[in-house]
Amino acid sequence: MPDSIKKSLRKYFIMGSQNCTRNPVEILEAAVEAGITAFQFREKGEGSLKGEAKIELGKQLQAVCHKAGIPFIVNDDVELVDLLDADGIHVGQDDQSAQDLRKVFPNKWIGLSVSNANELENSPLAYVDYIGAGPIFHTSTKTDAKAAVGLKWISTLRREFPSLPIVGIGGITTENAASVMEAGADGVSIITAITRAENIERAVKLL
């Protein structure tokens, strides 16, 4: 099981309509065509859709993932995971606890953000399928992101947990993605380097 998750985390695209300057469905289709291996619907923050509009976009993006056979993960929103029967959920340290989520979703992927040793110590890793480690580099995409933790955080996690699926996130680009993998990550999570790419196919291939 961890091996198939690791494979799926390799090019993990995250996006919501607030990250897009054109149709999000077309952006996801282009990214899928170019070879992303998983997708997280993160409709959150300024300019994001709410209520029915969010659900409708989620359904459309999920259909693109289903057609391509890649996992469709929902960020934060437990009700939406349930409603759409998503493949998994990603939560942070201040969101619903992974332990509680595991009771509700015994067979779905649960991803948890872990940014430092203190969070790691307090994280219920037994209930988690993968860790999102970051922000590795500076990012302006998440307004409440912590200070960049650097590649060392990935190598520390990898040393302590040799078989745990780990994905790096935050400020990852076509130029620095290889360094994240070399530090020990199983994959890279990206928003801007894909949503704002002049050529999505080229960007995903370079990643």
Ligand X SMILES: Cc1ncc(COP(=O)(O)OP(=O)(O)O)c(N)n1
Q: Catalog residues that contact Mg ion under the rule CB under 5 A.
A: 76, 92, 95
Q: How many CB atoms are located within 10 Å of the residue 87 CB?
A: 21
Decide if residue 86 touches ligand 3NM (CB under 6 A).
Answer: no
22 is a catalytic site residue? no
Is 42 within any annotated ligand binding site? Answer: yes
- Smaller CB distance to Mg ion: residue 14 or 183? 14
Decide if residue 188 touches ligand 3NM (CB under 6 A).
Answer: no
Catalytic member of 11, 42, 54, 108 = 42
Decide if residue 156 touches ligand 3NM (CB under 6 A).
Answer: no
- Smaller CB distance to ligand X: residue 91 or 198? 91
Number of residues that bind ligand 3NM (CB under 6 A): 17
Q: Exactly one of 120, 145, 181, 206 binds ligand 3NM (CB under 6 A); which one?
A: 145
* Shortest separation between residue 172's beta carbon and ligand 3NM, angstroms: 6
Looking at residue 70, its amino acid is I
In Å, how far are 10, 59, 90, 99, 145 from 116, measured between CA atoms? 22, 34, 17, 19, 13
Q: Cα Rg for the chain, rounded, in angstroms? A: 16
**Residue window 119-138: x/- pattern of binding to ligand 3NM, with contact defined by CB under 6 A:** -------------x-xx---
Bridge partners (DSSP) listed for residue 187: 167
Q: Which residues bind ligand X (CB under 6 A)?
A: 14, 40, 42, 44, 75-76, 90-92, 95, 111, 113, 132, 134, 142, 167, 169, 189
Catalytic member of 10, 97, 102, 142 = 142
Is 6 within any annotated ligand binding site? Answer: no
- Smaller CB distance to ligand 3NM: residue 69 or 120? 120
Instruction: Determine the distance from the C-alpha atom of residue 38 to the mean position of all C-alpha atoms in its chain, rounded to a whole number.
Output: 8
* Shortest separation between residue 134's beta carbon and ligand X, angstroms: 6
Catalytic member of 113, 115, 123, 189 = 113
Q: Which residues are designated catalytic?
A: 42, 113, 142
Annotated binding-site members for Mg(2+) = 76, 95
